[in-house]
Amino acid sequence: MKAVFATLLAVAALLWLAPSRVAAQVPDQAYISSFVGRAQTYSLSCESRSAADWGAYWGVYIDETEFLNRLPRSDDPNKGFVGDVNGPWGYIPPAAYGVHAAPVAELLREYGLDAQAETGLGWDDLRAEIAAGRPAIVWVIGTIWAGTPRDYTTQTGDTVTVANNQHSMVLIGYDESRVHLVDALTGYTITHPLQNFLASWSVLGNMAVIGEGSGQLPAERQPSNASGSTYTVQSGDTLNRVANRFNLYWPDLAALNGISYPYLIYTGQVLLLSADAQNEGPPEESQAEAEEPQSYTVQRGDYLLKVAETLELDWLALARANGLLPPFDLHAGDVLQLPDEDAEWAAAQAPATYTATRSESLVMVAQFYGLDWLRLAGHNNIAFPYLLAPGQSITLD
């Protein structure tokens, strides 16, 4: 009898200590098909790229460069971004390194997202997130490599676990033997054996950012230029961003205001926020159907991928329609012609060699010239993360 009682006590203790995060039933497989990834812009901006893609999934547009610049700087990756974002990849602090989950989640919350940084998560915790339709930003080693955790002592005397070749991806799917991740390096979805992923993820303590879009900005970031059922557009606003601030579905907001593709809004425009506002008389801007713009004037801070994403255009078509060549430099005041959706743009004639003028993505250069980037990487002995250094010359033929 005593043995039975002791067993019951042990079981009760295990149940008491067991994590309560995971639902009772988690399916054997799940996949989030609507998640869209894009390639990181800088050598060490994988975390900012993952964060921007994660935000976009929840309807919040976040510029990768803006997010990167807003991250605090520190020699402690648990407190801020470590090193030069254009520095070489693969090292540990105090060399150029990147950032861990906590500062990323904290900044995502400033964009109105319900983001939480976690360590020590279990596989069932992650599975539950994906099964619920919530992608998770995960910290792994390289492209799911093995790795070794290392202790680093910061300038303030704290001990932090770091690892060579730390990298971020977004987990979007799993089954009993595989995982599906969006790699921030290329923006592509990749598949790896489950055991390889679990080993790589464990190096930095099973670190992740999980959560969802709350649809509300913190009080200090709530817009102050809303008047009843209308809103006056401010510099930097996008339709998605305004819709998210007021907990609206952006296609409904577009339809309510007669805004059509490519869904551009401009500073000073007055938007209706509810159908009731129509009884008060629509703003002049929405009384007549707006003509679709044929051009776009480059603003300070714009770059090709940002403009293409904002206008919902293919960046290759936008580049080729305007005769832009790598590294696709834009200058404030440049006027870009918007490509016709139905137009077909042939790949540019590739030169025999190409010399990078700044840190560039080999993948983007290869795509622009219609070349196989993996073959190009092998031919020029370029390894992960497939970035070109300023002045580096590669053979394209």
Structural domains in the chain, sorted by start: 27-213 (3.90.70.10), 223-286 (3.10.350.10), 293-341 (3.10.350.10), 347-397 (3.10.350.10)
**Residue 337 Cα to chain centre, angstroms:** 27
Q: How far apart are CA 36 and CA 25, in angstroms?
A: 27
- pLDDT, residue 96, reads 95
Phi, psi of 386 (to 5 degrees): 60, 45
- pLDDT, residue 341, reads 66
Task: Say whether 190 sits in a helix, a strand or coil.
Answer: strand
- pLDDT, residue 223, reads 47
Give the residue among 80, 82, 64, 60 at the shortest CA–CA distance from 72: 80
- pLDDT, residue 283, reads 45
Residues β-bridged to residue 179:
174, 192
Residues β-bridged to residue 211:
115
Residues 6+ apart with CB under 8 A from 98: 44, 46, 47, 77, 81, 82, 83, 166, 168
User: Which residues of the chain are modeled with pLDDT < 50?
Assistant: 1-24, 215-224, 281-290
Q: How far apart are CA 52 and CA 61, in angstroms?
A: 7
Q: How far apart are CA 69 and CA 53, in angstroms?
A: 16
- pLDDT, residue 300, reads 65
Residues β-bridged to residue 80:
none
- pLDDT, residue 3, reads 46
Beta strands per DSSP E along 224-344: 226-227, 230-232, 270-272, 295-297, 335-337
Q: Tell me which residue has tokens 């390289």.
A: 142
- pLDDT, residue 20, reads 39
- pLDDT, residue 289, reads 41
**CA-to-CA dists, residue 144 to 16, 104, 153, 200, 392, angstroms:** 34, 21, 26, 5, 27
Q: Is 174 exposed, middle or buried (0-12, 13-18, 19+ CB in 10 A)?
A: buried
Per-residue model confidence as pLDDT tens digits over 56-84:
888 888 889 889 999 999 999 999 999 99
Q: How far apart are CA 167 and CA 137, in angstroms?
A: 10
